[in-house]
Structure 1
Amino acid sequence: MTTKSGRLAKVELAGNAITGMGTWTLGGFTREIIEEDSWDLDIKKKYFSVGDAGTITCSGLYDALDLLNTSGQVALDSACQNSSAFSGGLSSTSTLNFFIDNTSYWTV
């Protein structure tokens, strides 16, 4: 998969925009391929295995006023410091949305 990125875009956590987050990059997703090769096969069989999610990099400006908004920079910083997982899904309270433009986004 090629690298996807958003510039002058936004990042949302559980539907709340994270103040100051203006650039993000999602890259490195790969899927392992398993080969089956035995003496009774004429042709090798290949299967896709589990995926490796790769990395997400965000950058933006720190906003001291966002400290009052516990669903923005504070929530994202806390999740990173505590190694919390984001569960994703449309109704989840821990969904990260990375917007490419006004209507298109990737969800973690």
Structure 2
Amino acid sequence: MSEQTTATPARLTEAVDRLADRFRAMPQSRLLAAVPGHPSRAAAALDLARRLADAARALEGLPALPVPDCGAFAVGDQLAVTGHDLALAAGDGHPAELAAALADLADTDRLTA
């Protein structure tokens, strides 16, 4: 079974909630530590939140809006909100977009572990 056929809004919501909770529980020293390609884990998560938000807005036929940098301690909440928005916008009719988001989440999870 391919990733695309198993990609559902529920899977995206579960995955984003797990990653968001990890960031919410992460100590400041880990949040602010650099990871490859990013000045910090928080910056990597913010980049992911911005991509999720852009994907949701695109599915809704709306222009992208900036996701502001609200600080390292807010990034878990930003991931949750943007991930849930994308799951809602994608519904069951956009499995490719859901699969891409799940892959992006998995990549960020590995990068920031």
Greater strand fraction, Structure 1 or Structure 2: 1
With structure 1 as the length reference, what TM-score do the two structures score?
Answer: 0.23
**Greater Rg over alpha carbons, structure:** 1
With structure 2 as the length reference, what TM-score do the two structures score?
Answer: 0.23
Q: Flag the structure with more relative contact order, 1 or 2, with Cα contacts below 8 A and sequence separation at least 6.
A: 2
